[in-house]
Amino acid sequence: MLREWRRNRAIQRVRPGTGRPLKRFRWWQPLSRALLYLTLPGPDGRESVYAVEVRHLQSDDDGFGRAHLYLDGRHHAESRLPAVFPVPGGVIEVAVSLFGLRRCHYVTDAGEECQLVPDPRSAEGRRARFDRDHPALSRGLGGFSLVLLVVASVLALPQLAEPILGIPPLAERVGPYTSPIDLPVWLNIALGVAVAAASTERALRLRYSWLDAAAN
What DSSP assignment string belongs to 122-189? SHHHHHHHHHHH-HHHHHHHHHHHHHHHHHHHHHHHHHHHHHHHTSHHHHHHH-----S----HHHHH
Residues in Cβ contact with 169 at an 8 Å cutoff, skipping those fewer than 6 apart: none
What was the pLDDT predicted at 174?
Answer: 66
Torsion, CA 14, CA 15, CA 20, CA 23, rounded to 10? -30
Q: Are the beta carbons of 42 and 88 closer than 8 angstroms?
A: yes
CA 63/CA 73 separation, integer angstroms = 27
What pTM was computed for the model? 0.82
DSSP, res 21: B
CA 179/CA 182 separation, integer angstroms = 7
CA pseudo-torsion sign 39, 40, 41, 42: negative
CA 35/CA 64 separation, integer angstroms = 18
> Cis peptide before 180, with omega less than 30 degrees from 0?
no
What was the pLDDT predicted at 31?
Answer: 84
DSSP, res 69: E
pLDDT (tens place) for every residue of the chain, 216 residues total? 767 778 888 899 999 999 999 999 998 998 889 999 999 987 777 899 999 999 987 766 565 789 999 999 999 999 999 999 999 999 999 999 888 888 999 999 988 999 999 999 999 999 999 999 999 999 999 999 989 888 888 887 777 777 776 676 666 666 666 677 777 888 888 888 888 888 888 889 888 765 555 545
